[in-house]
Homo-oligomer: A and B are copies of this chain.
Amino acid sequence: MSNAYNRPDQLSPELRRRVLETARRLGYPGPDPVARSLRTRKAGAVGLLLTENLSYAFRDPAALGFLEGLALACEDAGTGLMLIPASPEREDVAAVHRAGVDGFVVYSVPDDDPHLAAVLERPVPTVVCDQPDIGNVDRVGIDDRSAMYELAQHLIAMGHRRVGVVCMRLARDRNDGYVSVDRQHAAHFHVQRARLAGLAMAFSEAGVDWSKVPVVERFDHNTASGEAAAAQVLDRDPSITALICTSDILALGAMNEAKRRGLRVPEDLTITGFDGIQEAERAGLTTVRQPVLEKGRAAGKLLLDVGERTRPRSVNLSTELITGTTAAAPRTIAEERWFGP
């Protein structure tokens, strides 16, 4: 009987037809997928752990691109993709334990996330995307530090020395304001830590005292946060020539704030982002483009690949510096005298 459903080739078509027909007449709804999964030890689905609020995942183009890539990989493999209900507020790890999946993809969570810990306890393969950077687990990501280092060098070459930084949340606690160097080093979000490290390295090499550079953090990730953070930096340090944002969303917010203040970009203020989302491209933002869809696809492939899983694998995707129209050489005092403000 089982054969009728699962191995059409093991019995005659005629018999198969008869069995199925009878089953239907008896009201048999087909094999129970859960019982089958128990027996075959395959759930036919992978779990996705996003620690951010779900709304965030569906509104941030970068997260969305990742999700799309992952979903495509799953679709190719005929595998379901299960969104694990794990909001950062509720520390209810039970959902991770309850999920009947063959593996997990963990996207951009802090290294001290309890849901992540629960995932790692499960005896199924796991792929971590972007962060955190933990040993012994498959990983997909980019080299955030180098990418940001390169962007910084681009600005340094233009002549920028007085800069400000706007970054995303560095830990699970809300800290909408200035960030000490200690907090930068202790950041639980590895991606943000790496990007800041890249900046610190480049500017230190250029003779800038990094501890003096204003770095402002925002917990929420949207353009309003970018606006507020940019305002905070510009209020305290009106003399900066460039505002470096660790995401395009924040940078787009900063652009709004610059406009509101009558600052021309890039003549009066250089603004840069990170991610390479479509909205940024449209705005001509100077930024770093990362292949978000490919990241999702790679994570899915890595998880679903049945190949050797002897030692942790790591996939590093390449990024590209996008030279937009929001970065230019800072005007010197002399130039301002000459050409007017």
- Give A residues with C-beta under 8 Å from B: 29-38, 43-45, 47, 54-55, 58-59, 64, 67-68, 71-72, 74-75, 77-85, 87, 92, 94-95, 97-100, 121-123
Cα distance, A45 to B64, chains bound together (Å): 21
Cα distance, A44 to B84, chains bound together (Å): 10
Copies in the complex: 2
What are 19 A-to-B residue pairs whose CB atoms are below 8 Å?
A29-B122, A30-B97, A31-B97, A34-B100, A36-B98, A37-B100, A38-B38, A44-B95, A44-B98, A44-B100, A45-B82, A55-B68, A75-B87, A77-B85, A78-B85, A78-B94, A80-B84, A80-B85, A80-B95
A83 and B81 contacting across the interface, CB-CB below 8 Å? yes
Cα distance, A64 to B68, chains bound together (Å): 11
B54 and A68 contacting across the interface, CB-CB below 8 Å? yes
B78 and A92 contacting across the interface, CB-CB below 8 Å? yes
A54 and B75 contacting across the interface, CB-CB below 8 Å? yes
A33 and B123 contacting across the interface, CB-CB below 8 Å? no
Cα distance, A83 to B36, chains bound together (Å): 19
User: Which residues from B are CB-within-8-Å of A68?
Assistant: 54-55, 58-59
| Residue with the greatest number of chain B CB neighbours at <10 A, chosen from A82, A97, A99 | A82
Q: Within the complex, which residue of B38, B80, B84 is in contact with A99, where a contact is CB–CB below 8 Å? A: B80
Cα distance, A37 to B27, chains bound together (Å): 22
The smallest C-beta distance from A76 to any residue of chain B, in angstroms, reads: 8
B33 and A98 contacting across the interface, CB-CB below 8 Å? yes
Cα distance, A256 to B99, chains bound together (Å): 46
A45-B100, A78-B95 are known contacts; what are 5 more A-B pairs with Cβ within 8 Å? A29-B121, A33-B98, A58-B64, A81-B83, A81-B85
